[in-house]
Structure 1
Amino acid sequence: MSLYQAQKILYHLNRDEEMQQTFLTDKAAVLSRYDLSTEEYEALHSGDIGLLYVLGVNGQILMHYAAFLKVEWFDYLQLMRDGVDNHGPVRAGIYAMTAGGEQFAETPVTSRDPN
């Protein structure tokens, strides 16, 4: 897998307005500049946030791509959960799951008591 390349394209896409315009009109032209796996290429081409998350794309980079695609924040969070449900646990990167993804889907958000 070429996780570095997938993250690199998203990093550049977030910062380069000319690249953004080209991506909107000709995704293949932009994606062909990077050494992506077939799965990464298809996920980037289709805007599959959940699959990109499962492939290991860093959430800080991925959230900018979601915003570029006009995905609302809570929808973005749900797309990551759906990605785990549809594609299995995160495979690589800092979010790689050792518990099969169950913790991500079932762990409730709780407030922390500072005392």
Structure 2
Amino acid sequence: MYQNIFYAIAVLFFAVGVCAVFVLILLRLVSPDKNSRYFIVSVFSEKDSDCAVKISCAESVITLFGLSDRCTLIAADSGLSEKERKKLEAAFRRDCAVRICSIDEITDILTE
């Protein structure tokens, strides 16, 4: 008898959880927040020097999460040379809108 009660409670909790997730997804689709188009792939420091590795990692992230048509790539430019910056922008131009900016600019964008 107690087993049936526990079973019913477990099914009830599962049903409520599924409904809650469904409602949250609907709310997200109906009213996405202003920052949902931004996806911060990486923050570059002056110690980072291998641009090819950064590009490869960021491309993998974009592919993995299916972000190709709906994101603006934001990456901090503190350690990038102009040549590396151009390379990074070119790597993503075919997939999504690209914006390379500094840490301060990222903070401003995400808080506006």
Normalising by the residue count of structure 2, what TM-score does the alignment of the two structures yield?
Answer: 0.27
Higher helix share: 1
Normalising by the residue count of structure 1, what TM-score does the alignment of the two structures yield?
Answer: 0.27
Please say which structure displays the higher CA radius of gyration: 2
